[in-house]
């Protein structure tokens, strides 16, 4: 099941990480910007909100459907070709979305965006991990650079999106991606090393027909539960969820009984990868689920506008970005357990503090400081967890491992958002528009997010206690003590 390996060692791993960060930034920023503009789009096209919601749903469905095919695509065509092609497709979809003449055309072009966007993150992660392996280490530092956009862009997106929609035009939500994406293609073509494809590996078509629509149906059902007033009881939520679960179960059976599956799930027998995912998934559910709550609290309870609420939360992203850079460098020298576990506890403390003070008349300094503490904990958790999960994976297994991480985080984000939305909606129904009652509904919902983050700390406590081999003290390709058994030995 080997995928193509680099034909030449990359000259600048840091440059590769920065290129992937630039491409990821456009995707995450695009998603957060569009989410704050749905009502404006409904007015622009004179379309009901139920139709305009497909602007988001079409993108999510297309994105989710292509992620499982990432390992095969990297092997068949080469990671560099797939990555640059995915960015170009995303840029094309962005340009066409900015020129859309109707709600239906915008929905179609957003699906095109999703087809490109779904491949950018898993392939970009594979490129960074391969660059780190070729350079002899520094996975944590490189992953923290590459993943900077995942935490900073959600904080900047609502502010930037609100400004674009209010001051310029909704079309620039999409057109702004064109120059940035084009720059990422040009830089990627110059910096990312060429790799030879492995055309001999066959595509597992039955596996693709099971996992891609199954994963997409799960994400769609969770998204609908998030958007619908009936939550999981809505037919357009539970029907896709049942269908998706059945298809994914069918893929699981196939993955363990056939040779050359679309995604080799036997990699999960590798302890660092399994523990990393077990700690990452509940943390992502709690944190990204709470990202739905925070702007709504500022808007509903305190009466802030979209831009004001974005400015109130911007320190969260900034603290996360700064801490991530420090934690990423530290995890290259210190055992991941001693970074991830304190990071999770710090995140739970910040979120718990915010929940405790989230009253209608709460002091602004307390709200800002608690969110900054939350951000610092998140920055110390996300990329160190992914680094711990993927550091010891054999080079041939990197595409499958990065795809597993992306599937896990995408699904966890969708589950967390849907669950938090349902819990909050149930409590807001009895609030009657009273700010104090609504504040209590938010505080009670935050408790569940804190509980998920604390649950993630349990498997994090079992992460490796051994420090990784230092790049300047080990030959190229040397592995840390936790990696003495390569992931590929399970096959």
Q: What is the pLDDT of residues 71-83, one digit of tens each?
A: 888 888 888 999 9
Query: Tokens 């939500």 sit at which residue?
Result: 173
Report pLDDT digits (tens) over 44-60.
888 776 677 788 778 88
Same domain? 423 vs 309: yes
Phi/psi for 195 (5° steps) reads -135, 150
Which residues constitute the domain of residue 49? 1-203
* Residues 362, 295 share a domain: yes
**Regions in the chain scoring below 70 on pLDDT:** 1-11, 49-50, 151, 199-201, 226-229, 306, 469-491
Instruction: Decide if 483 is inside a domain.
Output: no
Shared domain for 290 and 415, answered yes or no, is: yes
Whether residue 137 sits in one domain with residue 270: no
Query: What pLDDT is recorded for position 310?
Result: 73
Task: Indicate whether 278 and 391 sit together in one domain.
Answer: yes
Q: Are 385 and 276 in contact (CB under 8 A)?
A: yes
- Indicate whether 490 belongs to any domain: no
Same domain, 148 and 107: yes
Q: What separation in angstroms does the CA of 36 have from each of 31, 123, 132, 161, 296?
A: 9, 28, 37, 7, 11
pLDDT at 315: 85
Q: Within this chain, do residues 228 and 288 fall inside the same structural domain, yes or no?
A: no
Q: What is the pLDDT of residue 167?
A: 79
Q: Which residue intervals of 9-69 are DSSP H helices?
A: 13-35, 38-45, 49-66
> Do 148 and 218 have their domain in common?
no
Whether 455 contacts 260, CB under 8 Å: no
Phi, psi of 6 (to 5 degrees): -60, 135
Do 302 and 451 have their domain in common?
A: yes
Per-residue confidence (pLDDT) for residue 339, from 0 to 100? 92
In a domain, 319, yes or no: yes
Neighbours of 24 (CB within 10 A): 22
What secondary structure letter does DSSP report for 176?
T
Residue 311 lies in a domain: yes
At residue 11, the pLDDT reads 58
CATH of the domain at 64: 1.20.1250.20
Whether 481 is covered by a domain: the verdict is no
Q: Is 325 among the domain residues?
A: yes
**Which residues make beta-bridge pairs with 195?**
6
Please check whether residues 433 and 383 belong to one and the same domain: yes
Domain's final residue, options 203, 233, 253: 203
Residue 136 in any domain: the answer is: yes
Q: Write down which residue in 160, 180, 203 finishes a domain.
A: 203
Q: Are 295 and 378 members of one domain?
A: yes
Torsion of Cα atoms, 309 then 280 then 440 then 431, to 10°: 80
Position 489 scores a pLDDT of 38
Confidence (pLDDT) at 229: 67
- Give how many domains the chain has, as a whole number: 3
pLDDT of residue 469: 66
The confidence score (pLDDT) of residue 6 equals 44
Classify residue 2: in a domain, yes or no: yes
């Amino acid at each position: 099941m080997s995928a193509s390996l680099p034909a030449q060692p990359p000259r600048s791993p840091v440059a590769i990480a920065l290129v992937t960060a630039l491409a990821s930034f456009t995707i995450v920023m695009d998603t957060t910007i569009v989410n704050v503009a749905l009502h404006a789009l409904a007015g622009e096209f004179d379309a009901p909100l139920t139709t305009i919601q497909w602007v988001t749903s079409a993108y999510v469905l297309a994105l989710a459907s292509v992620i499982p095919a990432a390992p095969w695509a990297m092997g068949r065509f080469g990671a560099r070709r797939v990555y640059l092609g995915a960015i170009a497709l995303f840029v094309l979809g962005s340009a066409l979305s900015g020129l859309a003449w109707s709600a239906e055309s915008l929905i179609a072009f957003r699906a095109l965006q999703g087809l490109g966007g779904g491949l950018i993150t898993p392939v970009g992660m594979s490129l960074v991990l391969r660059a780190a392996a070729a350079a002899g280490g520094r996975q944590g530092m490189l992953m923290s650079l590459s993943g900077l956009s995942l935490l900073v862009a959600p904080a900047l997106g609502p502010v930037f999106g609100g400004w674009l929609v209010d001051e310029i035009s909704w079309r620039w939500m999409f057109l702004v991606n064109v120059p940035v994406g084009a720059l990422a293609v040009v830089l990627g073509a110059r910096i990312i090393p060429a790799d030879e494809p492995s055309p001999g590996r066959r595509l597992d078509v039955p596996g693709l027909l099971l996992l891609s629509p199954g994963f997409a149906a799960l994400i769609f059902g969770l998204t609908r539960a998030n958007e619908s007033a009936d939550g999981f009881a809505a037919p357009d939520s539970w029907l896709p969820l049942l269908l998706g679960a059945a298809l994914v179960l069918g893929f699981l059976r196939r993955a363990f009984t056939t040779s050359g599956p679309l995604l080799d799930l036997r990699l999960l027998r590798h302890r660092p990868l399994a523990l990393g995912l077990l700690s990452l998934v509940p943390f992502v559910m709690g944190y990204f689920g709470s990202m739905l709550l925070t702007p709504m609290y500022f808007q509903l309870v305190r009466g802030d506008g979209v831009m004001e609420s974005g400015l109130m939360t911007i320190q969260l992203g900034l603290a996360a970005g700064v801490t991530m850079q420090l934690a990423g460098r530290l995890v290259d020298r210190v055992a991941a357990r001693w970074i991830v576990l304190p990071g999770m506890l710090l995140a739970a403390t910040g979120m718990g503090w915010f929940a405790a003070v989230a009253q209608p008349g709460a002091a602004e300094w307390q709200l800002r400081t608690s969110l900054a503490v939350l951000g610092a904990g998140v920055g110390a958790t996300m990329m160190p967890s992914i680094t711990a999960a993927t550091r010891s994976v054999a080079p041939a297994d990197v595409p499958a491992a990065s795809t597993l991480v992306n599937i896990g985080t995408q699904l966890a984000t969708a589950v967390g958002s849907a669950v938090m939305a349902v819990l909050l909606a149930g409590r807001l129904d009895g609030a009657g528009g009273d700010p104090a009652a609504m504040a209590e509904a938010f505080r009670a919902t935050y408790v569940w997010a804190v509980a998920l983050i604390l649950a993630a700390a349990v498997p994090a406590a079992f992460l490796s206690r051994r420090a990784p081999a230092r790049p300047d003290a080990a030959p190229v390709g040397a592995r840390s003590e936790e990696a003495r058994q390569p992931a590929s030995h399970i096959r």
